[in-house]
Amino acid sequence: MDQMFVNLKKALLDSLAPFLPMEGVAFVSVVVSISAIAVFGPFTMMYLTWFERKLVGRIQNRIGPNRVGIFGLLQPIADGIKMLTKEDIVPTGADRVVHFLAPVVVVIPALLVFSVIPFGRNMVAVDLNVGLIFFIAVSATTTIAIFMGSWASRNKFSLLGGMRTVAQLVSYEVPMILSLVPAVLAAGSLSTVDIVEAQGGWNGLKWFVFTPWGLVAFFLFYLCGVAECNRTPFDIPEAESEIVAGFHTEYSGMKFALWYMAEFMNVFTVSALTATLYLGGYQGPLLPSWAWFMIKTYALVFVMMWFRGTLPRLRVDQLMGLAWKFLLPLALINILVTSAWYFIPGLALRLAVSIAILGASFWGLVTLNRPFVPEKRIYEFAE
Amino acid sequence: MTLEIFAKISVYSVLALSLVAALGVVLFPSIFHAALCLVGALVGVAILYIALHAEFIAVVQILLYVGAVMTLVIFAIMLTHRIGDQTIPQANKQSLPALLSLACFVGLLGSLFLKTKWPVGPAHTEPVSAFVLGKALLGEYVFPFEVVSVILIAGLIGAVVIARKD
């Protein structure tokens, strides 16, 4: 059961082996992995849109999509057909080539990062020894695609959205990278599979999140991940009430769908990476490994959608302040605490020291960042 | 055997594409398009690194050049007044001397290439572990590493000083 999908692929390759030369089998093996990802990514995106609409509907005391299929399960397919048949509008002044390329380019990094995510035991497309930096590097290129789209649209709202995107993504990348350092320190490797394997003790429950530094790093990484996906409450790049739709204002039809596909696939991959780094990835008792991975990932996806249904949007200065004045110092302190954890002897002392340092710095940062609020407001009426 | 030919074809096509992109950097009239071509050329180089089994360098290339430097370049282009205009001329009157010096340089490089014996060692396909990387960065190469950190800090402080308006 645990190795179901791995055995499936093996059986397929074994059945092809008599007919093909060695290289052919290797090639088919690569093609199988690639097509699994290429199907899984967009399919996940389709049903994430359905899931989000249902969930946000529930939060807002509505039912959500319920017309197409049972529980509206065919809604994503209907949406897809609608998107394909819609008129594709390009503004007159737009840079046509770049305008066309931008939504195509943005999907590439979103799909590429799937390749280093361990979906289960032995279920990773490429076990890259620098998998973690690969994920960060490839997802960093999303910025350029968003910029291309916003610039090529020749629209003020698009351009504003693009500038906001860059400011936000560049700021949140710094604490994001710093908050994955604790996991790398603890596992001693940059490979995603090794990091998951390092969390295998205690019957598959020795997750990094159960240590003080792991808990802090988990929250930091997850928050930065939400910001990297441009989702509420960090959605100022596409704030509907301020700049229409931000960078994708001038997109319609399938191009718009591609922007959305990239965003939802990013939601999935960021949740998956958070689960991999701090929630033990596919480790867990009883259930097969891929089931554990999916449960953890979808729980994190659910929290992201819950955020969207609950939290209002941050202001630009609050957003920047959160990244630079709160998340960044806390991430730096957390790296120190993680290294100290491995040098202090005895569990009790370790726990005491790290909780003390982290608690004190958390409290200190919250106090230092508290905005100035006058105690009593005096209203004077004009007479 | 077929796989080897396939690998060769793909490597050469990546090379050709990055050369085309590099040409685009020089020839495009719009500076934004030139910047996008530069992104393409840098990604092409990163793919070459991967083909040479230097995954770490490839990933760092993408992270630093495409993710950070190019974002900064494009941001600078967008914030600079009218630099994205198509009317800015691409060439000036000194193209002939430039061409001559370029020809000299290419000749020199070519003669060097022909003279050099390129030693072909056994392929190092051993992946670099995080442990080895850390040892190298904070052991053998600690001096350049620290110099880079100091320069970065200086840059950060400088940016804050410039941005602050008292």
Q: What is the pLDDT of residues A301-332, one digit of tens each?
A: 999 889 888 888 888 888 888 888 888 999 99
Identify whether B94 is part of a domain.
Answer: no
pLDDT at B1: 62
Does B68 reach chain A within 8 Å, measured CB to CB?
Answer: yes
Q: B71, A143: Cβ pair inside 8 Å?
A: yes
Can you tell me the mean pLDDT for A195-219?
A: 84
Judging contacts by C-beta atoms under 8 Å, the chain B residues touching residue A170 are 68, 71
A373 in a structural domain: no
Contact A183, A210 (CB under 8 A): no
Is residue B129 scored above 70 in pLDDT?
A: yes
Q: Is A382 inside any structural domain?
A: no
The whole-model pTM stands at 0.85
Res. B87: pLDDT tops 80: no
Whether residue A118 is preceded by a cis peptide bond, meaning omega within 30 degrees of 0, is no
Domain count, chain A: 1
Domain boundary among B13, B48, B82: B82
Q: Does any domain span residue B162? A: yes
Contacts of B55 in chain A (CB under 8 A): 128-130, 134
Does the CB of B128 have a partner CB in chain A at under 8 Å? Answer: yes
R_g of chain A, CA atoms, integer Å: 23
| pLDDT at A201 exceeding the cut of 80 | no
ipTM over the 0.85 cut-off: no
Local structure of A186: helix, strand or coil: helix
Partner A contacted by B3 (CB < 8 A): yes
| pLDDT of amino acid B85 | 62
Does A383 map to a domain? no
Q: Does residue B55 sit at the A interface (CB-CB below 8 Å)?
A: yes
pLDDT of residue B88: 65
Residues of A with CB under 8 A from a CB of B: 21, 23, 26-27, 98, 128-130, 133-134, 136-138, 140-141, 143-144, 147-148, 151, 159, 162-163, 166, 170, 173, 184, 188-190
Residue B123 confidence (pLDDT) above 70? no
Q: Please, which residues have CB within 8 angstroms of residue A127's CB and are 6 or more apart in sequence?
A: A116, A118, A191, A192, A193
A244, part of any domain = yes
Residue B88 lies in a domain: no
Sign, CA dihedral A35-A41-A43-A44, equals positive
A64 part of a folded domain: yes
Number of domains making up chain B: 2
Residue B34 forms part of a structural domain: yes
Residues with Cβ within 8 Å of A139's Cβ and at least 6 positions away in sequence, in order, are A109, A110, A113, A228, A266, A269
CA–CA distance, B63 with B151 (Å, rounded to integer): 19
Q: If you average pLDDT over every residue of chain A, what do you get?
A: 84
Task: Identify the pLDDT of residue B106.
Answer: 94
Domain identity same for B74 and B1 = yes
Residue A345 lies in a domain: yes
Q: Establish if A378 belongs to a structural domain.
A: no
* Gap between the Cα atoms of A42 and A103, Å rounded: 14
Domain shared by B77 and B133, yes or no: no
- In this prediction, residue B82 carries a pLDDT of 65
Q: Which residue has the tokens 């089998």?
A: A25
CATH number for B17: 1.20.120.1200
Q: In the predicted model, is pLDDT for residue B58 greater than 70?
A: yes
Residue B136 counted as domain residue? yes
Query: Is residue A375 domain-resident?
Result: no
Q: Tell me if A130 and B2 make a contact (CB, 8 A cut-off).
A: no
Residue with the bigger pLDDT between A100 and B2: it is A100
Residues of A with Cβ-Cβ distance to B127 under 8 angstroms: 129
Pick the last residue of a domain from B82, B111, B139.
B82
Give the per-residue pLDDT at B81. 64
Distance (Å) from the alpha carbon of B89 to chain A's nearest alpha carbon = 20
Q: Which residues span the domain enclosing A260? A: 4-368
DSSP summary character for residue A322: I
Burial class (CB in 10 A: 0-12, 13-18, 19+), A22: exposed
Of B66, B82, B98, the position where a domain reaches its end is B82
Chain A CB within 8 Å of residue B53 CB:
no
Domain containing residue B140? 129-166
- Is B100 part of a structural domain of the chain? no
In a domain, B161, yes or no: yes
In a domain, B102, yes or no: no
